[in-house]
Amino acid sequence: MKKLKDVFLEQFGQDGDLTHFYAPGRVNLIGEHTDYNGGHVFPCALSVGTYAVARKRKDQKVKFYSTNFSELGIIETNLKELKYEEKHNWANYPKGVIAGIQENFVDLPYGLEIAFYGNIPNGAGLSSSASIELVTGIVVNELFDLNIDRIELVKLSQKAENEFVGVNCGIMDQFAIGMGKKDHAILLDCDSLNYTYTLIKLEKEKLIIANTNKRRGLADSKYNERRQQCEQALRELQHELNIVSLGDLSIDEFEQNKHLISDDIVTKRARHAVYENQRTIQAVEKLKQGNVEEFGKLMNESHKSLRDDYEVTGKELDALAEAAWSEGAIGARMTGAGFGGCTINLVHEESVESFIADVGRKYTEETGLTADFYVVDIGDGAKVLSEVDV
């Protein structure tokens, strides 16, 4: 943070008080592609994230700088000109959030300048973009004393991503980042936004993220197609059933009514959404009972359903999950949108080192790529940093 402050001063000059902020990345433990289907998710905030140093200006200018994209220099715009611009690249995320605050809450009296630094591996599906959105939300909320409720900032960030940037994501990432709590995962019902925290108390196990290092582009991936297929399934089921989302269905209800869906592929997509939602609820129960083994088995089933029914895994994620299964992981599954990105693994503590070595070797043999591994440390949600933290 000291360094980021220096970067800020170097880029924007001395003059006025600086405030420091942080928003994490996230990893989802189970409940994949359920958020936009009105189902449950179970993500947690990571201890890596996006740091921001910010200050109000005396005019209407808005300036951004990121040490991660230093080659792009300062990106400058104006409070009255906050529209999506291709050339503004990463800065469209903070622009979208500020535009959303002005549209839904209040016109800001002054512009601002923000310097960012992020240590979330980029393009790995650990939500670096939602992290930038949330950190921007709390910057503006704090600097201008807006008192916007945290869940409103979460919704606004998702909206910025959907409408300003044009990525049709659900609410999971922004929620996990905005509402995360150290050492806890969040069971979120994405329909009602009711949520509960579950303490992740692993006595003899570790959570490990494995990065395929195959970059995934959410916007140009099959993500939107999956959403449309689920919407089709819902519409067809609604001809006879009184439901608002696939998340409303029990497994029995789905099995009794799946004949209403006219297309086999669409049926598979809906089957994943319904089973994954129920699996998530069940998995959290198991974890609360201290039944880590059962939780792990449900993680494995989640991956298989994402592979076979939802078809969002691909060669790299499958290779990484299969290597983990064969190397004694208690559970392993892809996490996030899929099509590349990361797996999340539950591993016996004493075998962490050999796990990383052996899974890494197998993955390279299988794909020619090198995986990265990170032991998960569950951190806090987005926050203003005090002098002590800095």
Q: Which residues are catalytic?
A: 173
Structure tokens at 237: 């089921």
* Nearer to ligand GLA among residue 54 and residue 317 (C-beta): 317
* Nearer to ligand GLA among residue 77 and residue 335 (C-beta): 335
**Which residue of 178, 336, 340, 381 would you call a contact of ligand GLA, by CB under 6 A?**
336
What residues between 35 and 74 interact with ligand GLA by CB under 6 A? 35-36
**Which residue of 23, 53, 134, 169 would you call a contact of ligand GLA, by CB under 6 A?**
169
> Min. distance of Cβ 247 from ligand GLA in angstroms?
13
Q: Using the rule CB under 6 A, is 32 a contact of ligand GLA?
A: yes
Structure tokens at 37: 């289907």
Q: Using the rule CB under 6 A, is 117 a contact of ligand GLA?
A: no
Q: Using the rule CB under 6 A, is 33 a contact of ligand GLA?
A: yes
* Nearer to ligand GLA among residue 126 and residue 237 (C-beta): 126
For 25-76, the DSSP string reads EEEESS--S-GGGT-EE-EEEEEEEEEEEEEE-SSSEEEEEEGGGGGG--EE
Q: Using the rule CB under 6 A, is 173 a contact of ligand GLA?
A: yes
Structure tokens at 102: 């002005």
Question: What three-state secondary structure class fits 336?
Answer: coil
CA distance 361 to 353: 12
Q: Using the rule CB under 6 A, is 155 a contact of ligand GLA?
A: no
* Nearer to ligand GLA among residue 46 and residue 356 (C-beta): 46
**Which residue of 337, 344, 347, 359 would you call a contact of ligand GLA, by CB under 6 A?**
337
Please name the residues in contact with 22: beta carbons below 8 A apart, sequence gap of 6 or more.
49, 50, 51, 52, 135, 382, 383, 385, 389
> Min. distance of Cβ 350 from ligand GLA in angstroms?
31
Residue 309: count other Cβ atoms within 10 Å of its Cβ: 18
Q: Using the rule CB under 6 A, is 170 a contact of ligand GLA?
A: yes
Choose one: 32-40, 73-81, 104-112, 240-248; the region binding ligand GLA (CB under 6 A). Answer: 32-40
Q: Using the rule CB under 6 A, is 276 a contact of ligand GLA?
A: no
> Min. distance of Cβ 271 from ligand GLA in angstroms?
16
Question: What three-state secondary structure class fits 265?
Answer: helix
CB 165 within 8 A of CB 308: no
* Tokens 């945290």, located at residue: 150
Beta bridge partners of 343: 210, 334
The runs of H, that is alpha helices, within 289-371 are 292-308, 314-326, 352-367
Number of residues that bind ligand GLA (CB under 6 A): 10
CA distance 251 to 106: 45
Choose one: 103-111, 168-176, 179-187, 367-375; the region binding ligand GLA (CB under 6 A). Answer: 168-176
> Min. distance of Cβ 175 from ligand GLA in angstroms?
9
CA distance 71 to 119: 17
**Which residue of 140, 172, 208, 246 would you call a contact of ligand GLA, by CB under 6 A?**
172
Choose one: 29-37, 46-54, 266-274, 314-322; the region binding ligand GLA (CB under 6 A). Answer: 29-37
> Min. distance of Cβ 41 from ligand GLA in angstroms?
7
CA distance 105 to 182: 30
> Min. distance of Cβ 81 from ligand GLA in angstroms?
27
> Min. distance of Cβ 355 from ligand GLA in angstroms?
25
Tell which residue, 346, 124, 292, has the closest CA to residue 359.
Answer: 346
For 84-115, the DSSP string reads --GGGGGGHHHHHHHHHHHHHT---SS-EEEE
* Nearer to ligand GLA among residue 173 and residue 327 (C-beta): 173
CA distance 297 to 158: 31
* Nearer to ligand GLA among residue 173 and residue 248 (C-beta): 173
CB 321 within 8 A of CB 303: yes
Q: Using the rule CB under 6 A, is 214 a contact of ligand GLA?
A: no
> Min. distance of Cβ 76 from ligand GLA in angstroms?
28
Q: Could you list the residues that contact ligand GLA (CB under 6 A)?
A: 32-33, 35-36, 169-170, 172-173, 336-337
